[in-house]
Amino acid sequence: MKIGYVTGSEMPSTINIRADELRGTYYDEDGIATYYKAIELRKEGLDNRNIALRLGKNESVISRYLQDGFIPFETKARYFSDFIRTKEWFYEL
């Protein structure tokens, strides 16, 4: 078992804490990674259909990601390891 600490100034009205073991697999993280991979594959000359096939995603998702002005969704979720503190952190409170 672990304990994490957060100061009042770091605490929003709600907080979403993620498991470190699942880092990179959450919906927004996967979407951001796919977005950047799709951009790179587009630069290589692939069309949306072939990008989707290469990345194992639906073509409509790739089409949306490659539209002008698209901004990938990113949450403000934090990982539990963000709240594990050293003894020096406590001295600075």
pLDDT over threshold 70, residue 1 = no
pLDDT, tens only, 15-63: 888 999 999 899 999 999 999 999 999 999 999 999 999 999 999 999 9
Mean pLDDT confidence for 76-82: 88
Radius of gyration of the chain (CA): 19
Please state the domain extents for the chain: 1-6+13-23+76-93, 27-74
Tokens of 39: 């951009």
Which range, of 5-9, 20-24, 42-46, 71-75, averages the lowest pLDDT?
A: 5-9
User: pTM score, two decimals?
Assistant: 0.73
Other Cβ atoms within 10 Å of 41 Cβ, number: 19
